[in-house]
Structure 1
Amino acid sequence: MQTTGHGHNRSSRIGGFHRKSPAERLDLVAAFADLDAATRAHLADMGNLLVPLADKLIENVVATMNVPIGIATNMKVDGEDVLVPMATEESSVVAAVCNAARQTYETGFTTSMSGTLMIAQVQAVNVPDPFAARLRLLERRDDIKAICDDCDPLLVKLGGGFRDIEVRILDTSSGPMLVSHLIVDTRDAMGANAVNTMAEKIAPHIATWSGGRVYLRILSNLADRRLARAHATWKLAEIGGTDVRDGILSAYHFAAADPYRAATHNKGIMNGVSAVVLATGNDTRAVEAGAHAYAARSGRYTSLTHYEVTASGDLSASIELPMAVGLIGGATKIHPTAQACLKILGVRTAERLARIIAAVGLAQNFSALKALATVGIQKGHMDLHAQNIAMMAGAVGDEVDAVARALVAKGTVRIDVAETVLAGLRGG
């Protein structure tokens, strides 16, 4: 037990917390943290997510975190106009996609997908003869297929299921490991549950056939058999001429050569990607992990995008990254907002969703590089940030825009300046 600044003893050991209702849990948390009535009421309002559903999605629910959903306009993907819902807390992200898409609207984005294959890994250790064991496992391919496909007859019926096995011998600090990759077509599912079930089922057989001991059996988030690709061309006249084009190329070359820049460059891509992944109820962490791991696949962390000049002097850009998203599992299927976002997108397959997300990532990146190469990232960002600062200073209604405009005009977006401006507006 520790005594806190609130002046009472409190413990985080709360027996049976998970068995209580969300309201009862919130009462306990409010007492623990000395929350006032207004804060407690704010947390109790779960918005348009029904409390029983929130309580089923995760454990120990007390509240929801409402993230705004904006719509990216001007997007044309493979000749089809789409409106793209993006859930994010960061200003200027949605606007950036709208702007990039507008500047290449005539031709839009062209996309493709390498497939819908996921990988499950089964780790065997203490294998006496790993090289021979590897061949023994490969010889059992048909047996392995039968066992895996038996786990999910519906997936097989939908055209998915086991596709192949790969077996790798890894040298590690604790000796050689025999790692089997189950390659599974998960179709319109993200696939974690399907491939994990198969890995669990096959594990004892792998132990028997290899003569080793099986430990981990789990999917890999480096979904490099499920790559989403997009490319687009921005015409010189649309982007502001050769100086802007060359500035963007220079920014790309910087990211391609330097991991310190590449991390921020790719973070900008993920601003767009993760916003659509979140809006559709998919796993943002899985997609983020896959993207960054893929960016380092050469042994050096680098850019997920490529920029080059076309024969006619325009700017060509492309992106390729793992995109494990689905339409039929988890929150995607049961969260009403995710379902609404999928309806707005009009997607009927996980592949189409993945391809649109790749296009959004490319649009986001183009806008960021263009801003960096011209006015600097802060200008557009600061216009929107100024509104947040105005609200933090206490501005309401029309005051928000008025204070924000004054901050931008001064070139100083700070809360103390905002408070002064607000006081002046109010005649204080």
Structure 2
Amino acid sequence: MTSRISGFYKKSPKERLDIISKHLNLSNEEERLLLGEVGYSVNQANQMVENVIGVLPVPLGVAVNFKVNEKEVFIPMATEEASVIAAASHAAKFCFDGFFTSYSGSMMRAQIQAIEVTDPYGALSRIYENKALILEQCNEQDPTLVSLGGGAKDLDVHVIEGATEKMVVTHLIVDTKDAMGANAVNSMAEAVAPLIEDITGGKVVLRILSNLADQRIVRARGVFENPFSGDKEAMNKFIRAYELAQADPYRAATHNKGIMNGISAVVLATGNDTRAVEAGAHAYASITGRYKSLTHWEVNEDNSITGTIALPMPVGLVGGATQSNPVAKLATKILDVETAEELAGIVASTGLAQNFAGLKALAGEGIQKGHMKLHARNMAMMAGAEDDEMDNVVELANRRGEFSYDKIKQIVLSLQKDKGRT
């Protein structure tokens, strides 16, 4: 079945779900879960976090038109922001050959900070001399991970000049395989801390992972075919908008936020750690010493545009909410992925598509017109429109081109007044 479905956005939620269900052979219980007829209970939530009083539903949509590494995919996206899913789906239409990805591996870092070391560079050397012993002690903490081919693989030791002293910081390089891996690397760092103290003669303070997962980089590439129908001026505006994000951190912050609109929506839908992915992405955007775009765009001779993206992607399919949240578990089923590498590639492709859509809109009519059209339903709800009035309110707002809250409120009141007369 193809993920390229014309008019998918025009269908009702049930009709969309029927398409997905037929493709994936979802059970009746899984369909009911997605429709909200059964759900993530307070009792389940209470097992995950503290002081639970309820649960907060977030809209779960599906981006269509995507092909990643020759495989058609439906991409679940959890977001409260209008236009994100529509933009990604629209952008993917232009990438007819699909997105292609690569993955540097599933390596995470844990940092062990030693202070009060009398000979920092000598201590650095001693840590490397004891590498085998350190890695052995780390791997004793997670024999299951080691049995799957993962575990602590290497060390990377730094002498960091702090404000008051030189610190020796040992990085454990751990292959977490199909898990995000925070718990695994943190456990290793804590277990080996006393050994680091013995070797360095110092005191260990921090022993925790780094979210700058620079050995867990995913890259995605897509060629967007003639998106401006040969309009050189529009193409030029697209590229100039991108160039500003490369040169100016004020623009880059918003540019990358747009990328993360798509990335975080997929990460959240699959029960992964949005904060870890966001932190890693923004740190990576600054790795040269200046905050820049996470994407690159190049114009080809045939009026197509090649886009690429690279960023850390610490996501997994094992552990945490990916398994304990039933909707997140179902989202990974919709994606039909078996490895963290597959998931990372799809997430990055979504971010690239999101960036294309944002730049294309900015180079054309601007971002706000299309966004406000899709946001009209939210404002109609805020204005008190009933479910059976919603379509009429949005249609009238679109017809008039008026999308402010005040204008939509007037439309709602007018419809309700007329309804009261009949």
TM-score (norm 1): 0.87
1:322 to 312, 318, 326: 312
The corresponding residue for 1:170 is: 160
- Superposed CA deviations along residues 134-165 of structure 1, whole A, max 9, x for unmatched, are 00001111111111111111101101011110
Q: Which residue, out of 311, 321, 327, partners 1:337?
A: 327
Seen in structure 2, the aligned counterparts of structure 1 residues 71 and 237 have a Cα distance that, compared at 3 Å, is closer
- Decide which of 85, 102, 108 is 1:94's aligned counterpart: 85
Q: Would you say the 8 A contact 1:99–1:367 is kept in 2?
A: yes
1:117-196, aligned counterparts within 5 Å? 117-196=107-186
What fraction of aligned residue pairs are identical, expressed as a percent? 53
* Counterparts of 2:409 and 2:134, CA distance in 1: 68
State the SS of the aligned residue for 2:122.
helix
* Aligned residues of 1:78 and 1:109 also touching (Cα < 8 A): yes
Task: State yes or no: 1:400 paired with 2:390.
Answer: yes
After the TM superposition, which segments of 4 or more aligned residues of structure 1 sit over 6 Å from their partners? none
- Counterpart of 1:348 (choices 338, 342, 363) is 338
Conservation of the 8 A alpha-carbon contact between 2:230 and 2:303: no
- Once residues 71 and 381 of structure 2 are traced to their aligned partners in structure 1, the CA distance between those partners, rounded to angstroms, is 39
CA distance in 2, matches of 1:126, 1:322: 32
What corresponds to 1:13 in structure 2? none
Output the CA distance in 2 between the equivalents of 1:216 and 1:396. 54
Counterparts of 2:165 and 2:356 in 1: how far apart (Å)? 45
Deviations 1:203-258 (A, max 9, x none): 11111101111000000000010001101111226666333322211110011111
- Cα–Cα, structure 1 residues 239 and 143, in superposed 2: closer, same or farther, change >3 Å? farther
State how far apart, in whole Å, the 2-side matches of 1:420 and 1:51 are. 38
Separation in structure 2 between the aligned mates of residue 420 and residue 83 of structure 1, nearest angstrom: 38
1:381 aligned to which of 371, 376, 387? 371
Q: In structure 2, how many angstroms separate the alpha carbons of the residues matched to 1:363 and 1:425?
A: 38
Amino acid at match of 2:153: R
Structure 1 counterpart of 2:68, one-letter code: V
CA drift at 1:104? 1.1
- Aligned match of 1:267: 257
Gaps spanning 5+ residues in structure 2: where? 1-35
1:369 to 354, 359, 364: 359
Aligned AA (2:156) = E
Residue deviations 1:3-54 (CA, integer Å, cap 9, x gap): xxxxxxxxxxxxxxxxxxxxxxxxxxxxxxxxxxxxxxxxxx9960123211
* Residues 1:308 and 2:307 are matched in the alignment: no
* Conservation of the 8 A alpha-carbon contact between 1:46 and 1:64: no
Query: Which digits, 9 at most, give the CA deviation of each residue in 1:311-346, with x for residues without a partner?
Result: 444211000000001111111111110110000001
Asked if the contact 1:103–1:239 (Cα under 8 Å) also holds between the matched residues in 2, the reply is no
- Give, in angstroms, the shift of residue 416 of structure 1: 2.6
Measure the CA separation in 2 of the matches of 1:183 and 1:380.
45
State the partner residue of 1:77. 68
SS of residue in 2 equivalent to 1:174: coil
Root-mean-square deviation over aligned CA pairs: 1.5
- Find the counterpart in structure 2 of residue 51 from structure 1: 42
- 1:397–1:196: structure 2 CA closer, same or farther, 3 Å change rule? same
Name the counterpart of 1:423.
Answer: 413
1:299 aligns with 2:289: yes
* Cα pair distance change 1:144/1:366, threshold 3 Å: same
Paired residues in the alignment total: 383
Preserved CA contact (<8 Å) 2:228 2:234: no
Corresponding residue number in structure 2 for 1:111: 101
Alignment-derived partner of residue 233 in structure 2:
243
Measure how far apart 1:92 and its partner are: 0.4
Gaps of 5+ in 1: 1-44
Report how far residue 394 of structure 1 moved: 1.4
Structure 2 Cα separation of the partners of residues 254 and 354 of structure 1: 27
Q: CA deviation at 1:81?
A: 0.2
Determine which of 174, 197, 211 is the counterpart of 2:201: 211
**One-letter identity of the residue aligned with 1:224:** D
| CA-CA distance at 1:425 after TM superposition | 2.2
* 1:402 Cα deviation after fit: 1.9
Matched, 1:63 2:54: yes
Cross-structure match for 1:42: none
Tell me how far 1:403 sits from its aligned partner: 1.8
Structure 1 CA distance for aligned equivalents of residues 390 and 373 of structure 2: 12
> Normalization by structure 2: what TM-score?
0.88
